[in-house]
């Protein structure tokens, strides 16, 4: 005997009530940086690869938590857990604003170091750091809903590195 259930409804492609359309909300910063890394690697853009890797590592490091010293203090050495996963603790979850602030700090750090290199007469290193700062600042700008610049920096005002392509393949 065939089941008397109603036929399944076709999946609707309309967004759920209250859900924002994908075009209005930009992808999270970590996702944008992570998606840009393989593209930069494929295009062999060393500056972008270096900037993206260090920014992603900084985000990972910010999420790491220290294992409390007290965890193993009163245990005999043979009872202290060892091996993979023995010291697992939940990682911190950064908010989008915390991630943006962290990447802004990375940009500011590069611009400061570039200024220091300029003072020392090391223009090549300064230019590389400014190019890295511009890559990261570009990803910060992508996430702004109003389309305005995150912040003006000396890297935006100086001469463009003609051989540099950003993660999207733009000069």
> Do 140 and 100 contact (CB within 8 A), yes or no?
yes
Rg (CA), the chain: 23
Q: What does the domain layout of the chain look like in residue ranges?
A: 29-59+95-157
- Per DSSP, helices labelled H in the chain are 29-42, 46-63, 96-119, 123-142, 154-157
Span 30-52, pLDDT tens digits? 999 999 999 999 999 999 999 99
φ and ψ at residue 126, rounded to 5 degrees: -65, -40
Asked whether the predicted pLDDT for residue 170 surpasses 60, the reply is: no
> Do 126 and 111 contact (CB within 8 A), yes or no?
no
Please give the Cα distance from 70 to 63 (Å, whole number). 21
Span 69-81, pLDDT tens digits? 666 666 676 666 6
Please give the Cα distance from 107 to 137 (Å, whole number). 7
Per the model's pLDDT, the better-predicted residue between 98 and 162 turns out to be 98
* The CATH number fitting domain 29-59+95-157, selected from 1.10.1510, 3.30.450, 3.30.530, 1.10.3470: 1.10.1510
Residue-level pLDDT at 91: 81
Residue-level pLDDT at 66: 76
> Do 91 and 65 contact (CB within 8 A), yes or no?
yes
Residue-level pLDDT at 145: 54
Span 105-143, pLDDT tens digits? 999 999 999 999 999 999 999 999 999 999 999 999 876
> Do 59 and 94 contact (CB within 8 A), yes or no?
yes
């Amino acid at each position: 005997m065939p089941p008397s259930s109603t036929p399944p409804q076709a999946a609707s492609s309309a967004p759920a009530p209250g859900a924002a359309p994908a075009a209005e909300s930009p992808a999270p910063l970590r996702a944008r940086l992570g998606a840009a890394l393989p593209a930069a690697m494929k295009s062999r853009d060393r500056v972008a690869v270096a900037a993206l890797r260090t920014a992603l590592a900084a985000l990972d490091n910010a999420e790491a938590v220290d294992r409390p010293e007290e965890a193993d203090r009163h245990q005999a050495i043979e009872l202290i857990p060892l091996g993979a996963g023995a010291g697992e603790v939940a990682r911190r979850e950064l908010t989008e604003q915390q991630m943006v602030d962290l990447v802004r700090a990375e940009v500011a750090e590069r611009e400061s170091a570039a200024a220091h290199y300029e003072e020392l007469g090391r223009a090549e290193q300064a230019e590389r750091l400014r190019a890295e700062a511009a890559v990261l600042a570009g990803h910060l700008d992508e996430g702004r809903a109003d389309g305005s610049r995150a912040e003006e920096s000396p890297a935006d005002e100086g001469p463009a590195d003609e051989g540099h392509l950003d993660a999207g393949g733009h000069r």
